Amino acid sequence: MKQFLSIILWLAWAGGGWCQSVWDLNHLRQVKQSVENPSYEEAFRALCREADKMLGQPPVSVMMKDKVAASGDKHDYLSQARYVWPDPTKPDGLPYVHRDGVTNPEIQRLDRPRLGQMSHRVVTLTLAWYFSGKEQYAQEAARQLRAWFLNRATRMNPNLNYAQVVPGENQGKGRCYGLIDSYSFVEMLDAVQLLEQSRAWTAADSRRLKRCFRNFAQWMTTSPQGREEDATGNNHSIAYDAQLVAFSLYAGRGEDARRILGQFAERRLRPQIQPDGSQLHELRRTLAYHYSWYNLNHIIDILLMARHRGVDIGEEELCFKALDFLCPYVGQDRSSWPYQQISGWDEAVQHLLADLYRAATLLPVGEARSRHYLCLCKEHLVVHPGDRFWLLYAR
């Protein structure tokens, strides 16, 4: 019997089974059975209203941007680095100069906003289908996925060679930091796995999308940008791991995912989180509280992926200490934070609180710590009745 179970576990890993990533599938099933209850009803209605507005809308694609990457191929994803601006001392502004923490609105003209919009559409429409059973939502989600990934006329090439370009530098090629642009694919692939239960998403669609993500994961591990991102020592390397684990699991490369998870504590947690929970790389930023949370958001995603597959990555306590390091500033004014946070203080605190809730309810933080996190959430977390947080996480 034990040998039989071992074979089943190996097949699940190697063949892409048990792929659910950052969502708790058992929780979603329970919510689906109770979606008309007062605890979930308003969030469910708001979700369906948002999905209704997406019905019949043209799917977004990389072909909608005004510019083309230096490759000359419009199918290549193109984005501009967020914190770079024209050099005021140069007539043409080139090369752009860095202003950390200050977003240049020029980024809205290229593919990054549409990538986020595409992922949000797929997640919203799929959840609306899953909870309501209305197949038109699944059909619309499938149409959007095919436009972005599968249809020859509109699909994105499986690379980020031109992500987060700095105008005037590197002959128009992207930077390693651009790999974080695709992070929303992690949650989107959870939605895809739900969508596979619908009539709208076919077995052929699934095979083709898995091939896309195998190719994408291959590019991540072999390209100059991917290898450089892997070697960074801050939140980018952890976001890289989280994506590669999720993409590998979805594409049926379970052994690759297991290898990354097995090395995670040694390669990422110990070098990046100090014994007191501080994250030195993130504390140097002009948005130090935001990036300290942001890195933990990715770490929690990885811990959830590991736990869903019964993998003990070790050193989880370091993650919890890093959360503890940020907790004393919840409910405080920005002036209480001894590092820089030049904007977005309230938003950063709210993001942290949402992840404190995830940690308290989904990870083994311990009874006392769990009570503390939930107490902070009860007092300070702002969640409106229509927020999908209720559907995805609230217990």
CB atoms within 10 A of CB 103: 13
- Res 21: pLDDT: 84
CATH architecture for residues 36-201: Alpha/alpha barrel (1.50)
Confidence band of 75 (pLDDT split at 50, 70, 90): very high
- Res 20: pLDDT: 61
Residue-wise pLDDT for 105-148, tens only, equals: 999 999 999 999 999 999 999 999 999 999 999 999 999 999 99
Confirm if 161 and 76 have CB atoms less than 8 A apart: yes
Q: What are phi and psi of 133, to 5 degrees?
A: 80, 5
- 3-state SS, residue 161: coil
Task: Indicate if the pLDDT at residue 1 is higher than 80.
Answer: no
Residue written as token pair 């605890």 = 39
Task: Indicate if the pLDDT at residue 7 is higher than 70.
Answer: no
The pTM assigned to this predicted structure is 0.93
The rounded distance, in Å, linking the Cα atoms of 269 and 263 is: 10
State the alpha helices, DSSP H only, in the chain. 2-15, 25-33, 38-54, 111-132, 135-145, 184-195, 203-222, 224-231, 235-250, 254-264, 270-272, 280-283, 288-308, 316-326, 345-362, 367-380, 389-392
Residue-wise pLDDT for 185-201, tens only, equals: 999 999 999 999 999 99
Q: Higher-confidence residue: 2 or 223?
A: 223
The rounded distance, in Å, linking the Cα atoms of 59 and 118 is: 8
Q: Is 200 exposed, middle or buried (0-12, 13-18, 19+ CB in 10 A)?
A: buried
When the pLDDT of each residue in the chain is averaged and rounded to a whole number, the result is 94
As given in the structure block, the two tokens for residue 383 are 């969640």
Residue-wise pLDDT for 152-165, tens only, equals: 999 999 999 999 99
Length of the chain equals 395
User: Which DSSP category does 57 fall into?
Assistant: P
Which amino acid type is present at position 386?
G
Residue-wise pLDDT for 219-259, tens only, equals: 999 999 999 999 999 999 999 999 999 999 999 999 999 99
Task: Indicate if the pLDDT at residue 19 is higher than 70.
Answer: no
Partners of 85 in beta bridges: 97
Q: Is 165 exposed, middle or buried (0-12, 13-18, 19+ CB in 10 A)?
A: buried
Partners of 66 in beta bridges: none
